[in-house]
């Protein structure tokens, strides 16, 4: 079997990027914060480039994202709302001083959407890593399970996919790929957490976590596809050559990290 260029590109990016990301997750703390800040700024830049016709307020967005991440790393989730509010307040003030004719509602809304979407997803990845019990394992599990599910869904969809999942939003996604991705996500989650089944998450809880990831990750992917379709672009950027942009690679993780955090909270594992 000959690998398609897109699948080969996915595997190449994973081979280079995954060890770096996992290394930073292993170190945690401000090391992971630096990675999250760099990835977040690049992803937000791609989002603002896509939504340029909506006139997002760039300075407010970049500062808001960084302040939101700093709030999480320095003070935890209690302070994250302050970073988001700073984005809103600064966007409002700068829009009031601007001379552009774009609607304030549209401009401020586009600014806030980017920060809330990208910053919150990264915040909850940091929060997962900071869990007092098994934080490193939880973060690794989410990253690896979502990556495995996304890769297998793409491969199976290309090879045997016949039934479109969301043809008007993302024509390339299929039900066959979704099923394969779900199996891969649940399996990786189960394997990653199996050794801790008697002291952390039971087998049933691990499977439920895998299912939550299997639902949240494709929704994150579809959400970005909807934004791109709305703005008339194919990829969020070209930083990764034919692989698209950074936002194209983290869209599923942004939703999955939030879902994972609250599933683990529901299991009273903080």
CA 77-82-87 angle, to 5 degrees, is 125
Can you give the pLDDT at residue 89?
Answer: 93
According to the model, what pLDDT value does residue 1 have? 44
Which residues of the chain fall below pLDDT 70? 1-14, 99, 237-243, 269-270
Q: What separation in angstroms does the CA of 31 have from each of 36, 54, 62, 223?
A: 9, 34, 20, 29
Encode pLDDT of 78-99 as tens digits: 999 999 999 999 999 998 887 6
What's the pLDDT score for residue 204? 96
* pTM beyond 0.85: yes
User: What is the tens place of the pLDDT at every residue in 173-220?
Assistant: 899 999 999 999 999 999 999 999 999 999 999 999 999 999 999 999
Please report the pLDDT score of residue 87 as a whole number.
92
- Model pLDDT, residue 37: 97
Q: Supply the pLDDT for residue 2.
A: 47
Residues whose CB is less than 8 angstroms from the CB of residue 20 and which lie 6 or more positions away in sequence, other chains included: 35
Residue 51 is predicted with a pLDDT of 94
pLDDT at position 96: 82
Please give the C-alpha separations between residue 240 and each of 22, 99, 149, 243, in angstroms, as whole numbers: 19, 35, 20, 5
Max CA pair span of the chain: 61
3-state secondary structure the chain: CCCCHHHHHHHHHHHHHHHHHHHHHHHCHHHHHHHHHHHHHHHHHHHHHHCHHHCCCHHHHHHHHHHHHHHHHHHCHHHHHHHHHHHHHHHHHHHHHCCCCCCHHHHHHHHHHHHHHHHHHHHHHHHHHCCCCCHHHHHHHHHHHHHHHHHHHHHHHHHHCCCEEECCCEEEEEHHHHHHHHHHHHHHHHHHHHHHCCCCCCHHHHHHHHHHHHHHHHHHHHHHHHHHHHHCCCCCCCCCHHHCCHHHHHHHHHHHHHHHHHHHHHCCCC
């Amino acid at each position: 079997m000959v690998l398609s260029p897109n699948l080969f590109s996915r595997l190449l990016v994973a081979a280079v990027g995954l060890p770096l990301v996992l290394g930073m997750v292993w170190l945690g703390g401000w090391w992971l914060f630096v990675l999250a800040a760099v990835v977040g700024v690049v992803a937000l830049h791609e989002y603002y480039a896509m939504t340029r016709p909506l006139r997002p307020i760039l300075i407010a967005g970049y500062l808001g994202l960084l302040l939101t991440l700093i709030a999480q790393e320095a003070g935890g989730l209690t302070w994250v709302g302050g970073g988001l509010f700073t984005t809103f307040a600064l966007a409002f003030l700068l829009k009031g001083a601007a001379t552009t004719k774009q609607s304030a509602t549209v401009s401020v809304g586009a600014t806030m959407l980017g920060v809330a979407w990208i910053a919150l997803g990264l915040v909850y990845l940091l929060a997962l890593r900071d869990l007092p019990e098994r934080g490193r394992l939880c973060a690794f599990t989410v990253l690896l399970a979502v990556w495995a599910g996304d890769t297998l869904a793409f491969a199976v969809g290309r090879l045997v996919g016949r039934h479109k999942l969301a043809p008007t939003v993302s024509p390339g996604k299929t039900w066959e790929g979704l099923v394969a991705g779900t199996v891969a996500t649940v399996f990786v989650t189960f394997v990653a957490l199996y050794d801790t089944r008697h002291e952390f998450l039971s087998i049933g809880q691990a499977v439920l976590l895998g299912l939550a990831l299997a639902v949240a990750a494709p929704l994150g992917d579809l959400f970005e596809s909807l934004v791109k379709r709305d703005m008339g672009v194919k990829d969020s950027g070209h930083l990764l050559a034919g692989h698209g942009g950074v936002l194209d690679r983290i869209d599923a993780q942004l939703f999955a990290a939030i879902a994972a955090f609250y599933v683990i909270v529901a299991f009273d594992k903080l």
